[in-house]
Amino acid sequence: MAVIIVVTCSVAFFLFLLAANFITPEKKLDRKIEHRYAISDPQFQREMSVLMGPPIVPGNHVTAYQNGAEIFPAMLDAIRSAQTSITFETYIYWSGEIGQVFTDALAERAAAGIVVHVTIDWVGSIKMEQALLDQMEAAGVHLQRYRPLHWYNIQRLNNRTHRKLLVVDGKTGFTGGVGIADVWQGEATDPEHWRDSHFRIDGPAVAQFQAAFNDNWIKITGEVLNGSVYFPPLRPVGEMDAHLFIASPAGGSESMHLMFLMAIAAAEHSIDLAAAYFVPDELIIGALVAARDRLVELRILVPGPYIDSAAVRLRSKADWGPLLTAGVEIYEYQPTMLHTKLLVIDNAFISIGSTNFDIRSLRLNDEASLNIYDRDFAQQMTAVFEKDITRSKRYSLYMWQHRPLADKLAEKLLWPIKSQL
């Protein structure tokens, strides 16, 4: 009898810890943000600076790279040229050709005496062979895996670092949607190679990238990375205003949610959104519909026939009705998996980084987003967005109304786990 009681209590405790992963943070936005000013109004930047955390800083330059054929060489060139330090945090790091190339480059720099710190998410690196980890550590890389599974932290299993941050010599930063895996190689010309964007930034805002890396490094190790090796003086190198801010359940996850809501509420002319995983909550849907009520032209680009999560596709479409009815244009990318994260508003504001338009990114993951306030760069990103639309098919209200009954049933069955998708 005593054994049965112990087993029952143990199972109940395990289920309680597992269920805790379905609970989003207590702090939660629940009110609509009204349209009070435009993106071009100085008040918008003023509030984004004080409400989002790091202030907007001038003097930056951002370079956009498309697909692995451009992205990986740019990142590897920066790593191989490092003279003082490398800090690198990523979600996906898998074994394979590109995984080996990055491991070789990081290990070579560490062996050459450059201080190298790497944070890899435990879940995101499940497909990473131990040999790659051993190679880096043997070369002197300071390597940490974020929140490996233990019985005592199973209630935090759902809180992953989804950030994608690379900082070289404290002067050059990278962020975007790309992980370290062979699916990102090439030119996204077939279903085995994903479509994505990544970005290099030079200028004063790079210090915010380094601070963002420090955030999780401190959580894991208790060590602060400071000094001129990590935070050298940074001079203006361009004319772009930008800031990078982070979000996590431990540090107030609603900041990312608030940022998107504030930006959408300020839109007056156009919103272009490319979202690899588009599972918005009621507030985001309401904000997008309200933007259409203000006659804002609104285009959303999502994955089409190729996506790595059928559940995301099904649950996402459940919420398209009000958007399509309001006149939102929704396009499904056809050639391969679309993994891009891009938001462009009123040809003046751009948000890029690791954050998806889903509840997991807004409330459960550790994320980092770079906001840029520059009309020339906005035009450049709009051109990229429109090129992707030419490879997409528009999804109509009629198609949504006549989607298969099996899909509608699956959407309802997936509703309880919407926050996990």
pLDDT tens, position by position, 1-43: 554 443 344 443 444 444 444 455 445 666 789 999 999 999 9
Question: Is 131 exposed, middle or buried, given 0-12, 13-18 or 19+ CB atoms closer than 10 A?
Answer: exposed
d(CA 124, CA 275): 19
Least confident range of 103-107, 349-353, 411-415: 411-415
Question: For residue 247, what is the enclosing H or E element?
Answer: strand 240-247
Tokens of 261: 């809501």
Torsion of CA 266, 319, 175, 221, to 10 degrees: 110
The three-state secondary structure class of 77 is: helix
Average pLDDT over every residue of 172-201: 97
Using 50, 70 and 90 to split pLDDT, how confident is the model at 147?
Answer: confident
Distance CA 137, CA 144 (A): 10
Res 333 pLDDT > 90: yes
Give the pLDDT mean for 242-270.
87
Rounded CA separation 168/23 (Å): 36
Mean pLDDT score, 99-111: 98
**Could you tell me the pLDDT band of residue 193, with boundaries at 50, 70 and 90?**
very high
Helix (H) or strand (E) holding 303: strand 297-303
Q: What is the pLDDT of residue 153?
A: 54
The pLDDT of residue 310: 82
Q: What is the helix (H) or strand (E) element at residue 395, kind and residue range?
A: strand 392-395
pLDDT score for 43: 96
- What confidence score (pLDDT) does residue 156 get? 55
Mean pLDDT for the stretch of residues 354-381:
91
pLDDT at 309: 83
Given a cut of 90, is residue 273 above it in pLDDT? yes
pLDDT of residue 362: 77
CA distance 340 to 302: 9
Give the C-alpha separation, 295 to 270, whole Å. Answer: 9
Whole-number Å distance between alpha carbons of 225 and 88: 13
User: Rounded to the nearest 5 degrees, what angle is found at the Cα of 203, between the Cα atoms of 200 and 204?
Assistant: 125
**pLDDT tens per residue, range 385-417:** 999 999 999 999 999 999 999 888 877 787 666
